[in-house]
Chains A and B, each alone.
Chain A
Amino acid sequence: EPEVTQTPSHQVTQMGQEVILRCVPISNHLYFYWYRQILGQKVEFLVSFYNNEISEKSEIFDDQFSVERPDGSNFTLKIRSTKLEDSAMYFCASSEQGLQETQYFGPGTRLLVL
């Protein structure tokens, strides 16, 4: 069964460093998403991406964040200068269509900023 994959599973970085989180969405899906879950808290929407551009973003997704689909399979989230409060689990998700289609989540990348 096709699934969303994410790498790395864990990343530790120093404050101020750049990190790139990678995702491979399900191959026939057209919509891609990033979510964040701070430890013990609920999942928060960051950004959605369709047709090679951002379609929606939350207030969390400030200028430190960017997303890219560098090729036909990968979808990346870049944090330019990490802060301590960026420590969280980051989930990538994809859906075949937008609207009310089910989003399938990857296993997540746990980011720890020291």
Chain B
Amino acid sequence: AQKITQTQPGMFVQEKEAVTLDCTYDTSDPSYGLFWYKQPSSGEMIFLIYQGSYDQQNATEGRYSLNFQKARKSANLVISASQLGDSAMYFCAMREAYNNNDMRFGAGTRLTVKP
């Protein structure tokens, strides 16, 4: 069963504008963690932001914020003030407490920032 769904294969955004990358997840475990990673064309996986299922506040890290809507099981990534260097693949991932070693990734969204 698909645990992580990223419905946007590709997104475009104008430089300096904000963009939201969608992620929905499926779990029956009350304890889980949600992660976003960035993969530039060079191929490495760069950790961006983490949200725990029990966290009361939405996670923020610089220009990245996570719009966590637990009831809807969504964990959208918001990038503010897009920069050309933000052009990359973005992957949403989840780890469940009962299955705590197996991180499942979504299919990814390719973001292109236009000058």
Interface residues of A (CB under 8 A from B): 31, 33, 35, 41-45, 48, 50, 55-56, 58, 89, 91, 93, 98-108, 110
Contact = CB atoms under 8 A, between A and B. Distances in A.
Q: List 3 tightest A-B contacts by C-beta distance, closest first.
A: A100-B33, A48-B101, A105-B45
B105 A56 contact: no
B105 A42 contact: yes
Contact of B91 (A33, A43, A45, A56): A43
Contacts of B32: 100
B45 A102 contact: no
Contacts of A107: 42-44
Given A56-B102, A102-B35, A42 B91 contact: yes
A91 B103 CA distance: 13
Interface extent on B, as a size class?
A: 20 to 34
B8 interface: no
A70 to B, nearest CB: 21
Given A100-B32, A100-B100, A44 B43 contact: no
B12 interface: no
A79 B77 CA distance: 36
A44 B31 CA distance: 21
Contacts of B35: 102-103
A108 B91 contact: no
B45 A58 contact: no
B92 to A, nearest CB: 10
B37 interface: yes
Given A105-B37, A107-B44, A108-B45, A43 B105 contact: yes
Contact of A100 (B43, B46, B52, B104): B52
A49 to B, nearest CB: 9
A12 to B, nearest CB: 16
